[in-house]
Chain A
Amino acid sequence: MKMIPNALGRMIPEEIDGRKLKPFLGAHATHGGGRKAGPPIRATVDYKDKLRSSLDEAIEACEIKDGMTVSFHHHLRNGDFLINMVVDRLAERGLKDLVLAPSALFPCHEPIIDHIEKGLITHIEGSMNGPVGRACSLGRMRKCCVLRSHGGRYRAIQDGDLHVDAAFIAAPCADSHGNANGLSGPSACGPISFALADSLYADRVVVVTDNLQPFPVIPWVIRGGNVDHVVQIDRLGDPEKIISGTTRITRSPTRLLIAEYAARFVRDSGIMDEPEFSFQAGAGGISLAFIQHIAEIMRERNIRSAFARGGSMKYLVDLLNEGLIGYILDGQAFDLAGVRSLRDNPKHIETDPFTSYNYHTKGNFAQRVKISILGATEVDLDFNVNVNTHSDGWLLHGTGGFTDATDGYITMITAPLLRGRMPIIVDKVTTVTTPGETVDVIVTERGIAINPGREDLIERLKGSDLPIKPIEELHRIAVEMTGEPAKPVFGDRVVALVEWRDGTIIDAVRQLKP
């Protein structure tokens, strides 16, 4: 396999599985051009009755053949039953060499590994988490996998890089026409718009629901006009694992300290005092504590945020209800409060990756977010960030919305300096998910590093009493405590490609020698 360097100097294959690869050129180096891929033309006359009596009947109607691509989505998270159900049935039909295109996988999808080994699935394009990622690291997929962000997945569909033959969309609430949303029913999960691109571009679209309601289901996040078949089944998933009853702020003093530093950084940067302040923070322990701190500062200084980017959860919903934020622009709900608010509050808006993250739009709102708080498994001295592999080389996480969220004004990584005895800040990351040019600040409990490329931020933070240090110093502190970490031993085979948002290849994940 011929390897070539990309703009970051990472070695990637020139070609893999017959596909010529485009090396990463720079975070913002590629522009549009050409025409988008299109779905097949259908006629309404053929869609008088879309309701199928069983999943088998719907699969049969999709005419899935060997080598085709089947897509799924992750809004039911670790409670999802649908992926395993469909994949089992595809196996029963004796199919082989399928490509699986999920927006993310969870530990509940471990049974897929068996189907990979038996030849049903050659590889995965999209995201791998937990056990399936581990299987990929061990080289158990026949072909090379592709890791894409949520926005990158939409781009790939529009570019034709990812052609979906059949999309199976889990719909917590749907009607017989195929209109669907995630707002009610036993499997209610909040937004389901990760599936929107598939519904628009896939050859065949199947809506699967455990809550069939009379027409019309409103709002129709998935529009019936794009749906081929509707199937009602008993249960789409396990409600307790789809969504948590409540999200909780960390009690770890170290993580609370990191959250406090992050909020003080935002305050001292002055961006809160400028028009259209907005923020994005996830549902992790540090993020939730950050939201609390930011809210406190907003109250003290009588500041209103124009919008907050979800995932939504109780803490964000409380701020919306208090009037501290104008809108929640939501991609997923992490708890029941998030689902209820999305259903009942007109200022809580469901958004899809076309509007939030997609590289091939005429601007997306991730660009308008002032501060994004993100986590990482590793950051290196060039501020490159790894969220896919751990320092021991295992591929354990999908990219999610990470690379897309770096489009805002400040991208801030919050993480403890050590995980166990592994430093978070390393000389070179095991895998580059995001180039350093898009990452602005690293906040740890032992200090904050600002990317030297962000002279404006360095200027803004002059006079702050925060412990701002060069990233090299944070690295030195970590290594003093842990010793210089040994590097994992990889084989030569490339088992997964890490795609940048624009479809170029930013890094390659190699098979791990366990």
Chain B
Amino acid sequence: MLHKFCCKLLSSRQILTNFCKPHKRIGRLKCRPHRTCQKALVSAIHSMRRRIQSHNCEVRFMTRDNPLLKPCRTRRGLFIQCFPKGHQTLRALGVDHVELEAQDRGALDYVIRARVEAGVRRLYEVAEPGCPPVRRFEPEAPVKDRLRRTRLYLPGNNPDLMLNAGLFGADCVILDLEDSVAPAEKDAARALVRNTLLSVDFGSTERIVRINPLSTGYGRSDIEMIVPALPDCILIPKCDGAKDVKDVEGIVAAIEKQNGIETEILLMPLVETAKGVLNAYEIGAASDRVVALCFGAEDFTADVGVERTKEGRESFIARCMLVLGAKAAGVGAIDTVYSDVQDTDGLVESTREAMAIGFEGKGVIHPAQIGPIHQVFTPTPERIEYAQKVVAAIEQARAAGSGVATIKSKMIDAPIEKRARRILRLAAALGLLEKDTEE
């Protein structure tokens, strides 16, 4: 019914420019509803969730005479400031039938856009693609074979944490639309994550988005909005079997085609149920896009009906099975998060165990966990030196026409060579090798 207004509002750079006065630390934009639209709006507004909020930007929609929705003065007096130009601009746009009140405490442009868009979407049907900001960075094509020692989880509805997430040295960041976002805020988070992907430079960090499971009803909307913003990878939660992966792949491929996206967005199934663990191989092999299987201990222990412990003995067998499934399918295996941010020793211990059973990385819930995990996954100079000796010995033997070499009377065969070459690849990726000695 009010489509025209929405499109005008959302596509107008002018309104955001006026709203987002850089020299104002806070701001308010307001337009009063026209009386003729009031009745229709009252019912619409009553049924909607009224606020979209993060600490530096809050958007509300309201009718003028509804006492329930009247703005209140906060102790910081945020309702006092206003932009006279905001009124004029809205009027010039013909927006005279809805009241939009946005509390802006210094949010960046793309955050305000996301908040306003989400607010409007709660009231009206918005034609896709809504109001994405102009892409600021042309991302490189997703890389299947890369380091994934750390995946930093970031709540998808918190713009502050996402802005600098690429600076902390994690190999991957996960912009999360699932567990860290309340059901009532899924739509707001979705718009924010999309705008973040278009506006924030994460550097060389892999950008993963955790969508909601397709079974929840949110998952498809997540994919539809996120894929055009070109994340590197989609993390599929609660994967129980190959079908979960294939269903997501089908939707992703269709949207890629629809949007003329030539690169293939990668997939990372998250296995967090007993059934998923038993099906690890078929999940890993379900699609060429799958790069790694991840383990989720919290949901897994809930599914199995046991307490989650720091030592993780209750999930040890499951984690081993997941690694086996992943390796059989020829993809990576990434361990769950270590939940106690303060306990660095416990984190290191847990990471060592993960590495020992074949995981190539761990989930991370705070940047402080990145350094210790990387340290564990970084090969020591002694291991690198030995690996170099192994490769040199085997190549020398081959040159001499033999398939087997020895170092200090110990036989070097194919598995040892394979392990040595893997260490050298990792060392090379970490810049620990001289150029001419790289694989």
Residues on A lying within 8 angstroms of B by beta carbon are 253-254, 256-257, 390-393, 418-422, 445-446, 480-488
Q: How far is A487 from B22 in the complex, measured between Cα atoms in Å?
A: 8
User: Could you say which of B104-112, B227-235, B266-274 contacts chain A?
Assistant: B104-112
7 additional A-B residue pairs with CB within 8 Å, beyond A253-B168, A256-B368, A446-B164: A390-B25, A392-B25, A393-B23, A420-B56, A446-B167, A483-B109, A486-B23
Contact, CB under 8 Å: B164 / A421: no
Q: Which residues of A contact B168 (CB under 8 A)?
A: 253, 257
Using A256-B367, A421-B107, A421-B109 as known contacts, say yes or no to A445 and B167 having CB atoms under 8 A apart.
Answer: yes
Question: Nearest Cβ distance between residue A79 and chain B, in whole angstroms?
Answer: 20
B310 beta carbon closer than 8 Å to chain A: no
Check A419 against B106 for contact (C-beta < 8 Å). yes
Cα of A485 to Cα of B106 in the assembled complex, Å: 12
**Residues in chain A near residue B167, CB distance under 8 A:** 254, 257, 445-446
Top 5 nearest A-B pairs by Cβ distance?
A420-B106, A485-B22, A253-B367, A486-B23, A254-B164
B95 at the interface (CB under 8 A from A): no
Complex formed: what's the CA distance from A296 to B408 in Å?
41
Q: Which residues of B contact A420 (CB under 8 A)?
A: 25, 56, 105-107
Q: Is the CB of B136 within 8 A of A480?
A: yes
Tell yes or no: B21 within 8 A of A by CB: yes
Q: What are 24 of the A-B contact pairs (CB < 8 Å)?
A: A253-B168, A254-B164, A254-B167, A257-B168, A257-B367, A392-B24, A392-B25, A418-B163, A419-B106, A420-B105, A420-B107, A421-B20, A421-B22, A421-B107, A421-B108, A422-B25, A445-B164, A481-B163, A482-B22, A482-B108, A483-B20, A483-B109, A486-B21, A486-B23
On whether the beta carbons of A481 and B108 are closer than 8 Å, the reply is yes
Interface centre among B108, B136, B366 (most CB of A within 10 A): B108
Q: Of A257, A391, A480, which contacts B23 at CB under 8 A?
A: A391
Secondary structure dominating the interface of B:
loop
B164 touches A422 (CB 8 A): no
CB-defined contacts of B107 to chain A, threshold 8 Å: 420-421
CA–CA, A253 and B364, complex, Å: 13
B202 CB → nearest A CB, Å: 13
A485: B residues at CB distance < 8 A: 22-23
User: From A260, which residue of chain B is reached at the shortest CB distance?
Assistant: B371
Closest to A251 in B: B366
Nearest B-chain residue to A483, judged by Cβ: B22
**Docked pose: A392 CA to B108 CA in angstroms:** 16
Considering only CB atoms, which chain A residue lies closest to B111 in the complex? A421
Q: In the bound complex, do residue A253 and residue B25 qualify as a contact, i.e. CB atoms below 8 Å apart?
A: no
Residues of B within 8 A of A393 (CB): 23
CA distance A393 to B21 in the complex (A): 14
Taking the closest CB of chain A, its distance from the CB of B404, in whole angstroms, is 41
Chain A hits for B23, CB < 8 A: 391-393, 485-488
Chain A residues lying within 8 Å of B164, measured Cβ to Cβ, are 253-254, 257, 445-446
Cβ of A488: which chain B residues have Cβ within 8 Å of it? Answer: 23
Contact A253 B366 (CB under 8 A): yes
CA distance A256 to B23 in the complex (A): 27
Cα distance, A484 to B22, chains bound together (Å): 7
Interface centre among B24, B56, B105, B168 (most CB of A within 10 A): B24
Number of interface residues of B (CB under 8 A): 21
Q: Give residues in B with beta carbon < 8 Å to A.
A: 20-25, 56, 105-109, 136, 161, 163-164, 167-168, 366-368
On chain A, the residues within 8 Å of B161 by CB distance are: 253
Residue of B nearest to A390 (CB): B25
CB distance from A427 to the nearest CB of B (A): 13
Cα distance A254–B159 in the bound complex, in angstroms: 13
Given A254-B167, A392-B25, A487-B23, also A421-B106 (CB < 8 A): yes
A482 to B24, CA, bound (A): 12
Report how far A420 CA is from B168 CA in the complex, Å: 20
Closest approach, in angstroms, between the C-beta of A390 and any C-beta of chain B?
7
- Least CB distance, B413 to chain A, in whole angstroms: 39
Q: Which residues of B contact A422 (CB under 8 A)?
A: 22, 25, 106
How many angstroms between the C-alpha atoms of A485 and B164 in the bound complex?
A: 20
For residue A254, which residues in chain B have a CB less than 8 angstroms away from its CB? 164, 167
| Min distance, Cβ B20 to any Cβ of chain A, angstroms | 7
Q: Which residue of B lies closest to A485 (CB)?
A: B22
Chain A residue at minimum C-beta to C-beta distance from B55:
A420
Residues of B within 8 A of A253 (CB): 161, 164, 168, 366-368
Complex contacts, A419 vs chain B, CB 8 Å: 106
CB distance from A45 to the nearest CB of B (A): 56
Tell me the minimal C-beta distance from A164 to chain B in angstroms.
36
Closest to A394 in B: B25
Q: Which residues of B sit under 8 angstroms from A256, Cβ to Cβ?
A: 367-368
Closest chain-A Cβ to B56's Cβ sits at a distance in Å of 6
- Chain A residues contacting B136 (CB-CB under 8 Å) are 480
Nearest-CB residue, chain B, relative to A417: B164
Report chain B residues within 8 Å CB of A257: 164, 167-168, 367
Which of A391, A393, A421, A422 has most B Cβ within 10 Å?
A421
Within the complex, the shortest CB–CB distance from A124 to chain B, in Å, comes to: 24
CB of A481 to closest CB in B, whole Å:
6
* B420 vs chain A, min Cβ distance (A): 28
Nearest chain A CB to B357 CB, angstrom units: 29
Nearest chain-A residue to B25 (Cβ)? Answer: A392
Q: Which of A391, A420, A484 has the most CB of B within 10 A?
A: A420
**A254, A418, A484 — which one has the most chain B CB atoms within 10 A of its CB?**
A254
Complex Cα gap A512–B368 (Å): 42
CA distance A257 to B152 in the complex (A): 15
Asked if B22 and A486 sit within 8 Å, CB to CB, the answer is yes
Q: Which residues of B contact A487 (CB under 8 A)?
A: 23
Closest chain-B Cβ to A97's Cβ sits at a distance in Å of 32
Contacts of A392 in B (CB 8 A): 23-25
Closest CB of chain B to A487's CB: distance in Å?
A: 6
Q: Which residue in chain A gives the minimum CB-CB distance to B109? A: A483
CB distance from B32 to the nearest CB of A (A): 24
Whole-angstrom CA separation of A306 from B368 in the bound complex:
30
CB-CB nearest in chain A for B366:
A253
Nearest Cβ distance between residue A150 and chain B, in whole angstroms? Answer: 28
A256 to B169, CA, bound (A): 13
Cβ of B367: which chain A residues have Cβ within 8 Å of it?
253, 256-257
B residues less than 8 Å from A484 (CB atoms): 22
Q: How far is the CA of A392 from the CA of B168 in the complex (A)?
A: 30
CA distance A390 to B368 in the complex (A): 31
Measured CA separation A485–B108 after assembly (Å) = 12
Taking the closest CB of chain B, its distance from the CB of A50, in whole angstroms, is 44
In the bound complex, residues from chain A placing their C-beta under 8 Å from that of B22 are 421-422, 482-486
Please, how many angstroms separate the alpha-carbon atoms of A480 and B109 in the complex? 11
Query: What's the nearest-Cβ distance from chain A to residue B62, in Å?
Result: 25
B108's nearest neighbour on chain A, judged by CB, is A421
Of all chain A residues, the one with the shortest Cβ separation from B200 is A481
| Chain B residues within an 8 Å CB radius of A486 | 21-23
Distance in angstroms between the alpha carbons of A422 and B109 in the assembled complex: 12
What's the Cα separation between A488 and B108 when bound, in Å? 19
Nearest chain A CB to B134 CB, angstrom units: 12
Q: Nearest-CB distance from A248 to chain B (Å)?
A: 13
> How far is it, in angstroms, between the C-alpha of A391 and the C-alpha of B26 when the chains are bound?
12
Please give me the residue from chain A that is nearest to B341 by CB atom: A251
Q: Which residue of A lies closest to B81 (CB)?
A: A514
Q: Closest residue to A393 on the B side, CB-wise?
A: B23
Residues of A within 8 A of B163 (CB): 418, 481
The interface residues of chain B lying within 8 Å CB-to-CB of A391 are 23
CA distance A422 to B105 in the complex (A): 11
